């Protein structure tokens, strides 16, 4: 029986794992190598080796209602898209509210995690830590949750850039970027058009002489703002939209989405158009980049072919002279140097984990990785859902399939990802946010039943089907049910509107989206609910239908 749990890392994944342990009556001990909580979201003026790093201006591109933990809404007066300082403040509120800090050992690094000699019988682990004075200590734990993240090891592929040794200026990885101060008046080349590359190109263009943004593949660029100025994820990340993605051909959906994006700014004209389709990978989310291209502050260029002194030659033959700085926004490698090799099962480019959580080759399911996931959605609710499942497994309430079945599932997942997404060494995995949340929620026993809600709580049913898939939906029923979940769902748009109420404005009735009620037909409701369930598995019997109308039992 698992009782003690080592949690490695006190970022958002580690914090929610500590809480999940406490919810299940387990005894967590968290080891955090830095002096504070927050992980990636703890800004430091100087990047520290083997630790995630962010820049001074970083603002999250997921809205607050879509990123918060399921039983602790973000304060209503917080902005919808938060600066990293506000995110860290929210984590502090969360940690204090649930009394998590007392379980964290700060400035304590984990050096190794190894199976004890009697692992085949006990399933226990030996964890070796090192404190700030350099003293090592050995601990025994019944189980381990790894929450060390995957933005700690910058990928700097200098060998891929011929002539880099001759470069006369300065170059560095985006991991080292803190702000544009040192780029004033400079000619800057940013290599890589992910979210970091886009942010750095935009910010540096305000002070640089000229910024060039180099990309191998191009990118689809979207905004955080949707119609009427609403957060785009609150509008489109809904169960109804998710149903459409299950029912309609992905090529048609990509065509439709690309048409909408090109209506805002023609990606061909802006030299952004990528080689891939819209839903093959996560788009770049940047409201300012198209404007900077339009006004000339940023010039989009193809891949770098060669570097000659202070000149950069691109694959189309064009040359930019007198380059002062090159910023490599070229992603990150992932590594878990403290884990034993037999845990590091590889599948394709990724670490082969069952449902992206459990190593599939262990005799006992007493180790899990939480937060090592990639989707168009915030890590916080995904990590929370993973940790809720993990602690249920540790506690013995849930059982995993056989090792053979898990290995087979891992390989099937890898093939599906290779088929549906663009994956690589740097982006080794991607999942659909709603599908993944629902799958793990099904394992925990907390997936909301639309059919049951339709007959038992119709007002809530409307909001769960048509509203944003916020984490509160996974506290409506089952283990860890929260009495405030229903109210949180009903008031999520009130919290979204609250930060805008900084000046009283006279409203004409029916002209504002604020507080506008949902007006949806009964036919649409029934159709949506039916589609949601029957597209997953065609009903072959009355028994199947009745099972879908019955709430989950755990």
CA max distance for the chain:
74
CB 554 within 8 A of CB 479: yes
Burial of 263 (0-12, 13-18, 19+ CB in 10 A): exposed
Sequential pLDDT tens for the chain (554 residues): 789 999 999 999 999 999 999 999 999 999 999 999 999 999 999 999 888 999 999 999 999 999 999 999 999 999 999 999 999 999 999 999 999 999 999 999 999 999 999 999 999 999 999 999 999 999 999 999 999 988 889 999 999 999 999 999 999 999 999 999 999 999 999 999 999 999 999 999 999 999 999 999 999 999 999 989 999 999 999 999 999 999 999 999 999 999 999 999 999 999 999 999 999 999 999 999 999 999 999 999 999 999 999 999 999 999 999 999 999 999 998 889 999 988 888 887 788 999 999 999 999 999 999 999 988 899 999 999 999 999 999 999 999 999 999 999 999 999 988 888 888 777 778 899 999 999 999 999 999 999 999 999 999 999 999 999 999 999 999 999 999 999 999 999 999 999 999 999 987 765 555 545 444 444 444 444 444 444 444 434 334 334 444 444 44
**Domain locations in the chain as residue ranges:** 4-152+333-440, 156-330
Q: Fold for domain 4-152+333-440?
A: FAD/NAD(P)-binding domain (3.50.50)
Tokens of 22: 């406490």
Three-state DSSP at 375 gives strand
Three-state DSSP at 300 gives strand
CATH of region 156-330, choose from 3.40.50.1370, 2.120.10.30, 3.50.50.60, 3.40.930.10: 3.50.50.60
- Please tell me the predicted confidence (pLDDT) of residue 348: 79
DSSP sequence for 212-244:
EEE-SS---EE-SB-GGG-BHHHHH-BHHHHHH
Strands (E), 277-320: 284-285, 298-301, 304-308, 311-314, 319-320
Burial of 461 (0-12, 13-18, 19+ CB in 10 A): buried
- Please tell me the predicted confidence (pLDDT) of residue 361: 94
Residue that is written with structure tokens 């504070």 in the block: 36
With a CB cutoff of 8 Å and minimum separation 6, the contacts of 29 are 4, 5, 6, 7, 103, 105, 139, 141
Three-state DSSP at 143 gives strand
CB 382 within 8 A of CB 438: no
- Please tell me the predicted confidence (pLDDT) of residue 512: 55
Query: Which helix H or strand E contains 141, and what residues bound it?
Result: strand 136-141
Among residues 363, 368, 404, 364, which one has the least CA distance to residue 383? Answer: 368
Residue 364 CA to residue 143 CA, distance in Å, equals 10
CB 353 within 8 A of CB 359: yes
Asked if the domains 4-152+333-440 and 156-330 are classified in one and the same CATH topology, the answer is: yes
170, β-bridge pairs: 325
């Amino acid at each position: 029986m698992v009782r003690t749990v080592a949690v490695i890392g006190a970022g958002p994944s580690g914090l929610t794992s500590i809480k999940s342990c406490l919810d299940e009556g387990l005894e967590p001990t968290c080891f955090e190598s830095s002096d504070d909580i927050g992980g990636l979201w703890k800004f430091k003026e100087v990047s520290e080796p083997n630790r995630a790093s962010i820049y001074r201006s970083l603002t999250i591109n997921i809205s607050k209602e879509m990123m918060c933990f399921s039983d602790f809404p973000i304060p209503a007066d917080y902005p919808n898209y938060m600066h990293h300082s506000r995110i860290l403040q929210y984590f502090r509120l969360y940690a204090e509210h649930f009394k998590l800090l007392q379980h964290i050992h700060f400035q304590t690094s984990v050096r190794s995690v190894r199976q004890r000699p009697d692992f085949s019988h006990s399933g226990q682990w030996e964890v070796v830590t090192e404190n700030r004075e350099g003293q090592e200590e050995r601990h025994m734990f019944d189980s381990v949750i790894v929450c060390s993240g995957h933005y700690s090891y910058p990928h700097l592929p200098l060998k891929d850039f011929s002539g880099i040794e001759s470069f006369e200026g300065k170059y560095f990885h985006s991991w080292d970027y803190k702000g544009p101060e040192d780029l004033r008046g400079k000619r800057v080349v940013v290599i890589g058009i992910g979210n970091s590359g886009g942010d750095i190109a935009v910010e540096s263009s305000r002070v640089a002489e000229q910024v060039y943004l180099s990309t191998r593949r191009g990118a689809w660029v979207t905004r955080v703002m949707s119609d009427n100025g609403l957060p785009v994820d609150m509008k489109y990340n809904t169960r109804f939209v998710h149903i459409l993605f299950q029912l309609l051909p992905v090529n048609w959906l990509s065509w439709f989405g690309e048409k909408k994006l090109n209506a805002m700014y023609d990606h061909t004209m802006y030299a952004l158009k990528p080689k891939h389709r819209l839903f093959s990978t996560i788009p770049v989310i940047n409201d300012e980049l198209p404007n900077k291209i339009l006004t000339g502050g940023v010039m989009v260029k193809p891949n770098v072919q060669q570097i000659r002194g202070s000149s950069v030659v691109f694959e189309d033959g064009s040359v930019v002279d007198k380059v002062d700085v090159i910023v490599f926004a070229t992603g990150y490698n992932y590594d878990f140097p403290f884990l034993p090799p037999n845990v590091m099962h590889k599948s394709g480019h990724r670490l082969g984990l069952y449902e992206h959580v459990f190593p599939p080759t262990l005799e006992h399911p007493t180790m899990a990785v939480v937060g090592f996931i990639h989707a168009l959605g915030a890590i916080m609710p995904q990590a929370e859902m993973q940790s809720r499942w993990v602690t249920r497994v540790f506690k013995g309430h849930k059982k995993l399939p056989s090792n053979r079945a898990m290995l087979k599932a891992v390989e099937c997942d890898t093939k599906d990802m290779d088929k549906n997404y663009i994956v690589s060494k740097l982006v080794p995995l991607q999942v659909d946010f709603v599908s993944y949340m629902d799958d793990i929620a099904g394992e925990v026993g907390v997936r909301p039943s639309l059919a049951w809600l339709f007959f038992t709580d119709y007002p809530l049913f409307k909001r769960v089907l048509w509203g944003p898939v916020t984490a509160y939906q996974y506290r409506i029923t089952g283990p860890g049910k929260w009495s405030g979940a229903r109210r949180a769902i009903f008031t999520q748009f009130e919290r979204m509107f609250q930060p805008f109420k900084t000046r009283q404005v006279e409203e004409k009735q029916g002209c504002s989206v604020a507080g506008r009620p949902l007006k949806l037909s009964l036919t649409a409701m029934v159709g949506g609910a039916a589609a949601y369930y029957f597209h997953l598995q065609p009903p072959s019997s009355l028994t199947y239908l009745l099972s879908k109308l019955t709430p989950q039992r755990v």
